[in-house]
Amino acid sequence: MAQELGVDQARLGLWLWRLFVLPPASPEQLAADPVRRIGAWLGLQLAQRLAVPAHATPAIWLWRLLVLPADAPRPPWLPRWLSTCLRWPLDTFWRAIDAINYPLLDRGLQTLTPVLRPTNRYLRRALLLLAIAGAWLVISTPLSAGEQASLALILWLSALIASRMPSEHAPLLMIALSVVASTRYLWWRLTETMAVEGLVDHVCAWLLLCAEGYAWLILLLGFMQTAMPLRREPAPLPADPRDWPVVDVFIPSYNEPLRVVKPTVLAALGLDWPSDKLNVYILDDGRRSEFRDFAAEVGCGYIIRPDNFHAKAGNLNHALTKTNGELIAIFDCDHIPTRSFLQMAVGWFVQDKKCAMLQTPHHFFSPDPFERNLGTFREVPNEGELFYGVIQDGNDLWNATFFCGSCAVIRRGPLLEVGGIAVETVTEDAHTALKLHRLGYTTAYLNLPQAAGLATESLSGHIGQRIRWARGMAQIFRIDNPFLGRGLHWMQRVCYANAMLHFFYGIPRLIFLTAPLAYLFFEVHIIVAMTTTLALYVLPHVMVANLTNSRIQGEHRHSFWSEIYEAVLAWYIMRPTTLALLNPGLGKFNVTAKGGMIEQEYFDWTISKPYLWLLLLNMAGFALGVVRLFWWNSFEADTVLLNMIWTGVNLVILGATLGVAMEARQVRVAHRIRMRLDAVLRLGDGRTVHCHTDDFSEGGLGLTVPEGLDIAEQAPVDVALSRGDREFSFPARVVMHRGSRLGLRFERFTLQDDANLVQCTFGRADAWVRWAEHRAPDRPLAALAEILRFSAQGYRRFPRFLLEHLRQLRRQWQPQLRDHYHALLDRLFHA
């Protein structure tokens, strides 16, 4: 067949992959590749025979047949009775689940709540001890395989039913089920699977058990932290603005360009706050004349210092000595506040005199490297959403909200009392909050995006930022451990400890990515158990924990995505966290670059080296597993198969990391943001057109206009946008007109035009409230399909970058090799 198609075997294998797994190529790709034309034609014929859309593949059709509802298309060649038989078990199960009276269960749960949570503290403690004793009985009792299978089924069905209950108490029930399932698995691992032989086997077995113990601890602490998020609402301000406090706005900057800092300053100057009670300052650690001139032009303060000691923390502390406002609002120089920021945040300082800090989310209007390189921007929650969407709300319940360095307000008095912003670690923000809590002050979290900024542009920059966070948290854990010292209650200690211990996942994640290789390469047994028994214990642990996390985190973290984030970062945070524990003085503050561009798509070979080595090791292990399965270790085929499945899962995760390392182009200086705003277009001939925006940026607008509008490209126009009852007009030029889509580029902007545009777009009070409205909540099976698709894309695209890299290496080394060759000939000739 390869000869008939005129391709070699490797090309044929790639063609078969494209035919049976990937959708057909684009017309441009087909025109350039005759082999893909043949594959696309055969794929189309097969798709038509299977009665699925042309873009679907057999794998997609099987998914639709076995997973989607019964009204999914049935291929004409498949008898109805056979299709019904294939679907009947799944359909029957979901009909039974849907038939449950969930409102009745909810009422029953609400009725039991006062009984299970009595007001008498002694009775409450007795019930808690009784519940712990009952749970421990379930966790520690040895069971036969059949009994364990029954328990696993009960735990999973109970969690599944609870996950569909709307009650706010359902997550607590799911947490209890997950803790039981996970702790039972860990207890079984500790007591019944560690009878290994040999020193190497013992070392590998205990390393894996320690990694699993770490994962269990983080799971448990996370449940405690997020079980009951507070979801605080804004507090009202006094009716008379004269009673409002004076606020100093600090905007620290070091090496960022003025175009990044300018919108933040203009938005801060437009905050809805009495002008005599608002002071905006640029804290310029770069000491640049253009910043000084800009500050003078717009009328804001400008503060510099003679040195750069302690980086951002030192910059803020120096500004404290030059200002005197009661409250201090801090924004990173790329975080643009909305006009309502202070009115939403300051009320809690008036209501609670012990409140020392209020934090709002860090929201990003540009994609981070994961979102850009995988194409998931605004479709899949980004890495930080879990912290700002769930964890900080959980911290707020226990008065343990962390200061995150930006988009926050701090009361000057308590801040000076703890000596200003902490300088002992490189995560000065969280350490400052810890000091405030030790003195008995309260903090607050308002889960309402009131500012937005730029995400890191490149994967290397993203990893550098996370390295700093990880090192700083390890430093705090070492020098100011939340479990030690006075001033914190026990749940504050738990919240801080979980935030710090989370960054130690580097070593455990690497263990999970390499553990099956111990057997596949060296026949080292790290778990002594039957494969079926292992499945009966590990499946309820994984499935119930995943269901529970999906219920708690589903709006802000899709299932299985944590595996990708941790796999990408594990190698890089392992070393700084370990060194920080040994010597917390190591390391320095690094500024995260913002506002850059990526002019050409490329694969980051430097950053991806650890993934590539892990990928090669797992591929080699999987190949060796095939040999062991059929020849060397056929007597323990179940063990070989289990390790191969584990390695296959690792290969899926590592495939997705390849996709993250393929840097997509980012050539826009000003990011376009999708947002619908009413607009008025005024044409040069006097006509007025009412329309709306599709997107905006600092450089232009995308509009939807009535069909058939007669307007030429490059025509000058004015476009009017509103903020409240005020309307602002901006000069622009048409750069694109296709149907109802119109693209405008702003022209002849004054500084006042810049300020007005910021107020009409980034500074709107409702700018980011509906950011994720269209995004679907987490569905574990759909999230699994996402991960598989991104992994397949990573493997599909990687060969092209590899070939290009090999060509570059050849061009780089060819002259040197030629010179060495000629030098060798010369020596031989003269000899």
Active site residues: 285, 429
CA distance 195 to 209: 13
Sheet containing strand 301-303, strands side by side: 301-303, 278-284, 247-253, 327-330, 408-411, 355-359, 442-445
Question: Are residues 557 and 381 in contact, defined by beta-carbon separation less than 8 angstroms?
Answer: yes
Which is it for strands 247-253 and 327-330: parallel, antiparallel or unpaired?
parallel
Find where tokens 């979980």 sit: 498
Phi, psi of 719, deg, nearest 5? -120, 135
> Sheet holding 363-364: strands in order across?
336-337, 451-453, 363-364
Angstrom CA distances, 785 to 14, 59, 332, 573, 778, stand at: 21, 11, 37, 28, 12
Burial class of residue 730, CB neighbours in 10 A (0-12, 13-18, 19+): buried
Q: What angle do CA 670, 674, 679 make, to 5 degrees?
A: 95
**Of 732, 323, 784, 719, nearest in space to 542 by CA:** 784
User: Going by DSSP bridges, is the β-strand pair 716-723/726-738 parallel, antiparallel, or unpaired?
Assistant: antiparallel
Q: Which helix (H) or strand (E) holds 522?
A: helix 506-522
Letter for the amino acid at 46?
L
- On whether the CB atoms of residues 647 and 619 are closer than 8 A, the answer is no
CA 369 to CA 454: how far, in whole Å?
12
Two structure tokens written together for 529? 């158990």
Instruction: Tokens for 85, please give them.
Output: 């038989």
Residue 7 neighbours by CB distance under 10 Å: 17
Instruction: Write out the two tokens for 655.
Output: 């495939």
Burial class (CB in 10 A: 0-12, 13-18, 19+), 689: middle
Q: What is the radius of gyration, based on Cα positions, of the chain?
A: 30
How far apart (Å, rounded) are the C-alpha atoms in residues 634 and 648? 19
The two counts, helices (H) then strands (E), for the chain are: 30, 19
Q: Write down the residue that tokens 């991806």 correspond to.
A: 608
CB-count exposure of residue 809 (10 Å: 0-12, 13-18, 19+): exposed
Cβ atoms within 10 Å, residue 56: 19
Distance, in Å, from the CA atom of 802 to the CA atom of 807, rounded to the nearest integer, reads: 9
Beta strands 451-453 and 363-364 are: parallel
Beta carbons of 281 and 314 less than 8 angstroms apart: no
Q: What CA–CA distance (Å, rounded) separates 256 from 591?
A: 9
Residue 208: CB partners within 8 Å, gap ≥ 6?
A: 511, 515, 526, 527
CA distance linking residue 450 with residue 337, whole number of Å: 6
Contacts with 13 (C-beta within 8 Å, 6 or more apart), sequence order:
none
